Amino acid sequence: MTEKKFPEGFYWGSATSSFQTEGGIENMDWAKAAREGKVPAIGRACDFYNRYESDFDIAKELGHNCHRISIEWSRVEPREGEFDEKEIEHYLQVLAALRARHIKPFITIWHFTLPQWFADKGGFEHPDSPQIFARYCGYVAQKLGNDCRHFATINEALPYTSNGYRRGTWPPFKKWPGIDQVSVPGYKNLHGEKGNASWRNIIRYFKVLKNLGRAHNAAYDEIKKHAFGAEVGIVHHIILFHANWNPLNKLLAWFMNWHWTHQHLRRIHHKCDSIGINYYMHKKFGDTATYEKTDMGWDVYPEGLCEALLMVRRYGRPVWVAEAGIADAADKLRADYITRLVRCTYSAIQKGVDVRGFMYWSLMDNYELAQGYTKRFGLVEVDFETLERKVRPSAYVYRRIIEQNGLVE
């Protein structure tokens, strides 16, 4: 029997996103897309907006000592330059509920959705978008900075631009010509939206990605002005690209890792106190192996998390596993998957990566973007008709890992 103990003070928990759980949000781009039939209807989602205290009770019972939430921009700034103090008070109450349960809050200030007024201006295509975003982040930090000391400005810039400006499956539904011939498990558009194919969308894709980098850098400075001493970072989604022995495949994997991860992080890491990593999938060029599949159609390959963490070691920042999880409605794979993710995180720490915490995606089943309510990532099962919560058996396996602060194998 061997023990894989994590550093003292290591954070264990889970993550949620405001619009994917709260429900009742109508003045943003995804809600408009749902009304137009381009994405599944959102509705009340998990009603987390009203049920957060009982959901945090579940997290506490499962041993979590941290939780990552996001702030819904369209609630806080429903019209340009007009901020809703009532909604800020709501999020203050959410943070107070976490602290009352001795759960450390982590805030993501932007998690994919745009207020409709900002989307109507062109969103992150707009030349002033970095300043507009930084103003919003500064306001949030000013109001919430005394109650939360960990902020991430942007969640997953690459999936946002890729799905919104290359594949055309997320708002604003812009795509590259010929992209329909590219098959990506879990990211095909299930609702028949053809998107707006144009060669100009290639330019828009890189413009938006650049503006997101500029937006983070500007937001970092604004947050630091209003929340002195707070830790400010980014949450980056890593697809692990690797290859077999073939030199051409190795070159392709190197290029894709550069494009998907390093091209973005090199622009912003100097204004990151820490880096959050989200890991779900890999692509091995020249691979002939067969893998079990998640309900998303992705390979079951949690071992890629270690390599993903090693990829960001070069930036010299503390790292958080901000999201890692599996769509598994039957809960047959999740317990083993979590165990293997934790084992890989431990391995990365042993190899010199300064990993400070691990957050499973997600605490509960929720609205999984273009997949609607059909894919189940949660430690907690949600009946979307009754909103009843039921803790899955795999959640107790994760609780045991937390109680041990690691693995005993």
| pLDDT tens per residue across span 42-52 | 999 999 999 99
Please state whether beta strands 406-408 and 3-5 pair in parallel, antiparallel, or not at all (unpaired).
antiparallel
Averaged pLDDT for residues 24-34: 97
Contact 307, 353 (CB under 8 A): no
| pLDDT tens per residue across span 316-328 | 999 999 999 999 9
The whole-angstrom separation of Cα 105 and Cα 209 is 28
The DSSP symbol for 299 reads B
Query: Rounded mean pLDDT of the chain?
Result: 95
Find the DSSP H helices in 101-155. Answer: 116-120, 129-144
**pLDDT tier at 221 (50, 70, 90 boundaries)?**
very high
- C-alpha angle 361-365-369 in degrees, rounded to nearest 5: 80
- Whether residue 244 is predicted with pLDDT greater than 90 in this model: the reply is yes
- Whether residue 188 is predicted with pLDDT greater than 60 in this model: the reply is no
**pLDDT tier at 93 (50, 70, 90 boundaries)?**
very high
List strand residue ranges (DSSP E) for 290-361, in order. 319-324, 355-361
**pLDDT tier at 190 (50, 70, 90 boundaries)?**
very low
**pLDDT tier at 182 (50, 70, 90 boundaries)?**
low
Class of domain 3-408: alpha beta
**pLDDT tier at 192 (50, 70, 90 boundaries)?**
very low
Helix 334-350 to helix 393-404 angle, to the nearest 10 degrees? 30
Buried/exposed 383-399: b ≥16 CB within 10 Å, e otherwise: ebeeeebebbebbebbb
- Whether residue 187 is predicted with pLDDT greater than 60 in this model: the reply is no
pTM of the complete model:
0.95
